[in-house]
Chain A
Amino acid sequence: MSQAAPAASGRDYRLDFFRGLALWFIFLDHLPENPLQWLTVRNFGFADATEIFIFISGYSAALAYGGTMQRRGMLLASAGIYRRCWQIYVAHIVLFVLFTGHVAYISVRFNNPMFAEELNVTNFLQEPHIALMQAMLLKFRPVNLDVLPLYIVLLAAFPPVLWALQRYRWSVLMGAFILYLIADRLRWNLPTYPGDGVWFFNPLCWQLLFIIGALCSSHPELLGRLRRFSMPLTWIAVAYMLFAAFIVSTWSWPQLAALVPDRLNRLMYPIDKTNMDALRLLHFLALAYLVMRLVPRGSAWLGSRWLKPAIWCGQQSLQIFCLGIFLSMVGHFLLAERPERLAIQVAVGLSGVLLMVGAAFVITWYKGAQKTPTPKLLTPA
């Protein structure tokens, strides 16, 4: 973290690697219950892959557009951000269309009266014009299509934040923190369709993590200052991680739950994902701090060929994220069609990850090939 100008010191492969990992985890966690899910981060603490994804998104957004803003001005940087926003919006609508096709197929074929109430969720097919409008307004987001709308809203609000981050970083952080607290207390959130639901990921709360990510990347010297307290911080982070791992394990092993005092339970629960509970935020920060200590920028092992698959995925994050969501729909579909044997579950999980890696490889190759100048042989001397 000591390098001052990230652009000068080359790409930070840690971002790519961990974002790639987060994309795999998001895919696996979206599948029907799957043995491979035991490997994902949510089983070891409060935070899950969403926190990793949003933090790194904030970090890389500031990295990608902060430089442009400093060198070429606010206008160009904002244009770049809105271009990205639009890409994500289009990706979201494509996923929505795929999902709707899936639901339409199911609703024609599946009429088990035991699940009459559950099938009300397909009612939107009776008013497709309204559902489509609501989807375009990001109000109608069927299952597992929650992350991209959050990302769109965070990016859309980002240009002024990025500008302010370069001048009034502490005020920005304070503002983000206050908004997080107020939105949580007063239940501010964006509405959904149908009914009077709210966004599953409340952007007014999740913005805090995005902005913390942006702050870390636009002011790397702040992280350098933490070095003075590295011993106590490391111990606190380790202790908190162990505590979180223990609490999470009581969810799977009720015998352990008896060891947790009632007063602590009352204090901790509910641990809320919608408003990014403080326990989750702290867990992510502890995790990120320890990773930063253990894996310094430019660590040799980041160059290992074994990490390449995750790095490719992290570098093409939007495409791979969408592919992951699409593949998890396919996974649900496949597993609903046949008995859920363990071997099939593992096969679906593994082949999904392999497809993500394959696609990321092809995109990386294609982008690289586009950038390489035409071979000399073909250019006239």
Chain B
Amino acid sequence: MTRLLLLAGLIIAVPLAARAADANCRAPEDFLEVDGKLKQVARAIQAAKPLKIVVVGGPSSTGKANSTPAMAFPARLAEELRRRYPQVTVEVSVESQTGVVAWRRIETITRRVLPAMPTLVIWQTGTADAIHSSDVDQYSAALSEGIEALQAAGVDVVLMDPQYSPVTAALINFTPYRTQIDQVAMTRHVVVFHRHELMRFWVEQGLFSFGEAAKDRMRAEADAAHICIGRLLADLIAAKLP
């Protein structure tokens, strides 16, 4: 019964949230103009081989804030990619732990992510380090090390920076870590999904509030935001194919 209800909820929720998202999935003008190319992804699409994507990071990818996990951005990304590349089998999995800083994340990457031989890893990073005020230099070194390990194994990388909300931005200093993400990406030609800037843009434009509200409103907003993130991630991946 619960499963049926969930399914029914999903059937109703997805189109509703999707409709809300259509109007709201706007991004800053230069959002897709970032460095880097996704060669392995392009190869998989051209050869119609399975496209294996692993999302590494904190709990924002697991869908705890969404009405169902299927509404979280990894599942939305899979959906978007399947729609765009119907000939390709798209498989998106999530490797998520809360509060893991970058240098400890390397272990996850080498032990758990690389053996699965993904085509692309989407690495959400910066939140835990900003919360723990990690050594910024060490953070940057860890980021480089992780990227090197992935690239050496022939895996494409997309870095995704921390989420934004007006309240959390008042409590946590994300700037030094976001700067490092950009600097490391610049030196290693890695694609960055500027989630922080994107969510800020949404709040500025009045499209989202990311504040406190009734439970179901917050959930609906999370769903709509994740639909947009999934869609814009797919846009970014498409734009970065060589």
A contact set with B: CB distance below 8 Å: 32-33, 102-103, 106, 109-122, 142-144, 187, 189, 192, 194-198, 200, 250-251, 254-255, 257-258, 262, 265-266, 269-275, 329, 332-333, 335-336, 339-341
Contact = CB atoms under 8 A, between A and B. Distances in A.
Contacts of B134: 197-198
Contacts of A32: 166, 169-170
A117 B132 CA distance: 12
Contacts of B132: 194-197
Contacts of A250: 186
A245 B184 CA distance: 19
Interface in B124-154: 127-128, 131-138, 140-141
Contacts of A119: 168
Nearest to B136: A274
Contacts, number: 153
Nearest to A196: B132
Contact of B135 (A115, A121, A257, A274): A274
Contact of B127 (A33, A118, A266): A118
Interface of B: 30, 33-35, 58-60, 64-65, 98-99, 127-128, 131-138, 140-141, 162-163, 165-173, 176, 179-180, 182-184, 186-187, 200, 203-204, 206, 209-213, 218-219, 221-222, 225
A113 B65 contact: yes
A269 B183 contact: yes
Given A115-B163, A121-B172, A266 B187 contact: yes
Contacts of B176: 200, 273-274
Contact of B172 (A118, A192, A272): A118
A189 B171 CA distance: 23
Nearest to B200: A33
Given A33-B200, A122-B171, A200-B133, A116 B59 contact: yes
Contact of B187 (A187, A269, A275): A269
A330 to B, nearest CB: 10
B129 to A, nearest CB: 9
A332 B166 contact: yes
A112 B127 contact: no
Contacts of B131: 117-118, 120-121
Contacts of B219: 113
B210 A114 contact: yes
Contacts of B180: 270
Contacts of A114: 60, 65, 163, 165, 210, 218, 221-222, 225
Contact of B173 (A143, A254, A271, A329): A143
Nearest to B215: A113
10 contacts: A33-B200, A111-B212, A112-B65, A112-B167, A113-B222, A250-B186, A257-B186, A265-B186, A269-B140, A271-B183
Contact of A117 (B59, B138, B170): B59
Contacts of B140: 269-270, 272
A272 B204 CA distance: 29
A257 B60 CA distance: 31
Contacts of A109: 212
Nearest to A275: B137
Interface centre among A114, A192, A200, A269 (most CB of B within 10 A): A114
A282 B166 CA distance: 35
B132 to A, nearest CB: 4
B184 A269 contact: yes
B184 A115 contact: no
B211 to A, nearest CB: 7
Contact of A143 (B137, B172, B213): B172
Nearest to B168: A118
B165 to A, nearest CB: 5
Given A121-B171, A254-B30, A270-B183, A115 B138 contact: no
Contacts of A266: 187
B182 A251 contact: yes
B196 to A, nearest CB: 10
Interface centre among B132, B141, B225 (most CB of A within 10 A): B132
A332 B60 contact: no
A120 B65 contact: no
Given A109-B212, A254-B34, 18 more contacts: A112-B65, A113-B65, A114-B210, A115-B163, A115-B210, A119-B168, A121-B168, A143-B172, A144-B173, A269-B140, A270-B183, A271-B183, A274-B135, A332-B170, A336-B166, A336-B167, A336-B211, A340-B166
